[in-house]
Structure 1
């Protein structure tokens, strides 16, 4: 039996394929303003038999699906394709974090357009959470905009801020922060110092959101989302929240992995996967 977890994010779309309980394929593509198209493209890489089905059907994914594949969707575009199961991203990130690091109790996920702080029960279940999806402050999009204002791409973030000394950034509104960055450049501040200051400003904003959950002081936090690939920001975040911050090479796939883990459990009792009666 195969299970696909598909996480439709605002910036990137991620998918994973589990076969016999083992992760065998993964795919990540830019969402590029068309979540349905991106989801279909990821599915095409994971299982070429599924996209054609999704394109011709606007109804729930059921008996028409390939008999050996169970599809679970999550994220912003989770309802755009027919699926066996649709699950919220908070639940999936909890299960994904538990899969990647057993016993995880705290998760910070920084996506392109939102930031989630989650407390878990130690078994992947969500005990409490906070989500900021109304403001770009504290998201990957904020970093991307500030880096472009500085004339650099977000992909070079770590090398760009290496050895820098942070400049204080006071504004967290994207528009005002961009103006503040331009003013700092005009005053002669080093671009790399400004960039590091931006990271500290974001981490401070996230810490405020995270602290509202009253997390255990000093307990390790599992970091997911696109920014978790940045060693510089991981260090800044740990320094700001005063706790170890742990990542994994698959951290950006946490939502998709969690969706697949839920799918593995749910599909076990699904009629489509019941053993054929003996004749």
Structure 2
């Protein structure tokens, strides 16, 4: 039985998964990336092995992706996150022709052909206002954890606009809204709506056409997914 490990060393979180030849998930793990990339890659790998009850000898192939992919010194192969996302999206959703990946520090839009080759792509400006990190910071300003964001937004009644194109200016808007007594739920909903607006503009820049596939932890929030 062939067993494969995939490791994604992202800017915010590092994820690992073990699958067998039937593509059944045997184990998975995720933890904050931090600054010791090789160490965290080994930690998620080891955790998955423990959960699956496997040794390294049982693993046939290890592939790494993400911005820290080169730091996984035990890998057999590495691919860019653009390629990994494109291939994965096309495998799960064969009709995919446009892909939006919203990560902790970057937002990427790409247009694919029918073989999952990336024809064009665009990244967000070098600013956290268009990423998941901005949402986390916004939540922390209001003394909420990342896990509480979804429930908080569900209570929003009058979202307020967050129009700053830079994280610093956007954060200033958040602080100003708080000082005016705006409900945290409305601020949070406004923050994620600003990410939605940025993602739409990014998709337009690559001339995206259906079918669309969305990737990234931020998509667990219904507002972003819709």
So what's the TM-score if we normalise by structure 1? 0.73
Partner of 1:11: 12
Structure 2 counterpart SS, 1:94: helix
- The yes-or-no answer on 1:105 pairing with 2:106 is no
- The yes-or-no answer on 1:181 pairing with 2:174 is yes
* CA positional deviation for 1:198: 0.9
- Larger gyration radius, structure 1 or structure 2: 1
Pick closer, same or farther for the CA change 1:193–1:5 going to 2, 3 Å: same
How far apart, in 1, do the equivalents of 2:165 and 2:182 lie? 19
So what's the TM-score if we normalise by structure 2? 0.88
Partner of 2:23: 22
Q: Structure 2: where are the runs of 5+ without partners?
A: none
- The yes-or-no answer on 1:132 pairing with 2:129 is no
Tell me if structure 2 keeps the 8 A contact 1:16–1:23.
Answer: no
* CA positional deviation for 1:172: 2.7
How far apart, in 2, do the equivalents of 1:3 and 1:13 lie? 17
- The yes-or-no answer on 1:155 pairing with 2:140 is no
- The yes-or-no answer on 1:195 pairing with 2:153 is no
* CA positional deviation for 1:170: 2.0
* CA positional deviation for 1:210: 1.5
Q: Structure 1: where are the runs of 5+ without partners?
A: 51-65, 236-279
* CA positional deviation for 1:233: 2.4
Count residues with an aligned counterpart. 218
Superimposed CA distance per residue, residues 21-52 of structure 1 (whole angstroms, 9 cap, x where no aligned partner)? 423222222213322121101111233644xx
Tell me if structure 2 keeps the 8 A contact 1:13–1:29.
Answer: yes
- The yes-or-no answer on 1:45 pairing with 2:37 is no
Tell me if structure 2 keeps the 8 A contact 1:103–1:123.
Answer: no
Superimposed CA distance per residue, residues 228-255 of structure 1 (whole angstroms, 9 cap, x where no aligned partner)? 12223222xxxxxxxxxxxxxxxxxxxx
* CA positional deviation for 1:185: 1.3
* CA positional deviation for 1:158: 1.7
Structure 2 counterpart SS, 1:79: helix
* CA positional deviation for 1:137: 2.0
How far apart, in 1, do the equivalents of 2:60 and 2:131 lie? 34
State the structure with bigger RCO (CA 8 A, min sep 6), 1 or 2. 1
* CA positional deviation for 1:112: 0.7
How far apart, in 1, do the equivalents of 2:125 and 2:220 lie? 21
